[in-house]
Amino acid sequence: MLFQNSHGRAAATGADSVVMLEHTVPVDDTMIEIIKGVGAGTNLIRKGEDIKRDTTALSEGHLLRPQDLGLLAGLGIAEVNVYKKIRVGIVSTGDEIIPFQEKPRTGQIRNINSLTLTGMVRRLGGEVTDYGIVSDHRDIFFPALEKAVQENDIVLFSGGSSVGVRDLGEQAVETLGPPGILVHGVALKPGKPILIGMSGATPVFGLPGHPVSALVCFDLFVGPAIRALQGKNEILPEPGLSCVLSRNINSAAGRRDLVRVKLKLENDTWTAYPILGKSGSISTLSRADGFFVIDEENQGVSRDDQVLVYLYQ
Ligand SMILES: Nc1nc2c(c(=O)[nH]1)N[C@H]1C(S)=C(S)[C@@H](COP(=O)(O)OP(=O)(O)OC[C@H]3O[C@@H](n4cnc5c(N)ncnc54)[C@H](O)[C@@H]3O)O[C@H]1N2
Ligand code: MOO
């Protein structure tokens, strides 16, 4: 018996395969010739072929991507339990810092970090409360930090992480209550003076004031903390691109260096051009396509070496 079936329709009862229209030739009004044979099961989508009853569609801690929402839609599931958004409080300290819309007088610096850190948190799905620019005097800074800790799941402040006379970051974290400071200073460039502490269950990060250092520390320390608090249970490899280095770069032994690079496709090979510059120069990061790492045990890398470049989104 012959059935004409538009794709997507249920197959005719009893049929075990479907022949494509273009593989048939009409003979007369009631008959067609099949010019390409099919085996049983061909061109059929079977019930349960995509996902079987009683199998786990998505496990707890899975980040819902567009394809996962598609899977839920295919299963007719309109609501699932999700973790609440992580609330992140951001404080920029420093009496020299002014709103970026204003024109700086001598010694004043436009606020870059509040904006960049807010973007980084939002990209990871967090919710930001921006506490703005806070004076680095203890009677103003300490209560501001305490308020941020009470109102958020994670608190970031930038500036005041190193050991200058006015750098009150460490004292501020200690006054927030135990366990207090966990880490002050890491063998990393840029980002050496980072402060990591906890007030009760709330992580507090004192990021270096230099805008590049603050963002590098965000990538290495704050991002993983946000992901952990979001309940993500999957650890995936960081995607990296193998590139050829354009020049020699020195590094101190015992310190991990992150080198920003611009990438160029040359003769079918990606070449990484290091962007040199101080950690106060945000333009170096704005120009960068990614970075590679020189490990503690290496004192540098040479021209034409292969380096693994982690791409900025
Ligand atoms: N005695 C030492 N001094 C310094 C050390 C050290 O180990 N011992 N480390 C240096 C390194 S490395 C870095 S990085 C900086 C980090 O300094 P702080 O975290 O204390 O930050 P500040 O001194 O307050 O600021 C540094 C720099 O960044 C500018 N800044 C601060 N906030 C912002 C902002 N929101 N937007 C844009 N720019 C900002 C600030 O004006 C300073 O110019 O310490 C070294 N010193
Ligand atoms: O860590 Mo500082 O960030 O080297 O300039």
The domain segmentation of the chain, as residue ranges, is 1-53, 87-229, 241-311
Q: Which CATH class is domain 241-311?
A: mainly beta
Which has the closest alpha carbon to 157: 277, 165, 176? 176
From 192, 215, 278, 282, mutation site for ligand 2 pocket: most ligand atoms within 8 A of C-beta = 192
Place of tokens 């990591």: 196
What is the DSSP code string of 253-300?
A: TTSEEEEEEEEEEETTEEEEEE----TT-HHHHHH-SEEEEE-TT-SE
What whole-number distance in Å separates Cα of residue 107 and Cα of residue 205?
Answer: 26
Segment 125-171, tens digit of pLDDT: 999 999 999 998 999 999 999 999 999 999 999 998 777 755 689 99
**SS3 readout for 185-228:** CCCEECCCCCEEEEECCEEEEEECCCHHHHHHHHHHHHHHHHHH
Contact 133, 99 (CB under 8 A): yes
CATH topology for 87-229 is: Molybdenum Cofactor Biosythetic Enzyme; Chain A (3.40.980)
What whole-number distance in Å separates Cα of residue 288 and Cα of residue 304?
Answer: 19
Sign of the dihedral through C-alpha 104, 109, 111, 116? positive
Phi-psi region of 258 (alpha: psi -120 to 50; beta: other; left: phi over 0): beta
Counting as low any pLDDT under 50, the low residues of the chain are 1-2
Q: For residue 140, what pLDDT is reported?
A: 95
What whole-number distance in Å separates Cα of residue 15 and Cα of residue 275?
Answer: 65
Contact 272, 244 (CB under 8 A): yes
Question: Distance of alpha carbon 213 from its chain centroid, rounded?
Answer: 17
Q: Residue 217 Cα, ligand 1 centroid: separation in angstroms?
A: 13
Query: Any idea how long the chain is?
Result: 313
Contact 205, 113 (CB under 8 A): no
The atom number, within ligand 2, closest to the CA of 279 reads 5
Pocket lined around ligand 2, Cβ cut-off 6 Å = 189-192, 208, 210, 213, 279
CB neighbours (10 Å) of residue 292?
Answer: 24
From 133, 188, 210, mutation site for ligand 1 pocket: most ligand atoms within 8 A of C-beta = 210
| Complex ipTM | 0.97
Q: For residue 213, what pLDDT is reported?
A: 97
Q: Is 78 exposed, middle or buried (0-12, 13-18, 19+ CB in 10 A)?
A: exposed
Pocket lined around ligand 1, Cβ cut-off 6 Å = 92, 94, 96-97, 109, 111-114, 158-164, 167, 190, 192-193, 208-211, 213, 279-280
What whole-number distance in Å separates Cα of residue 107 and Cα of residue 304?
Answer: 42
Contact 294, 259 (CB under 8 A): yes
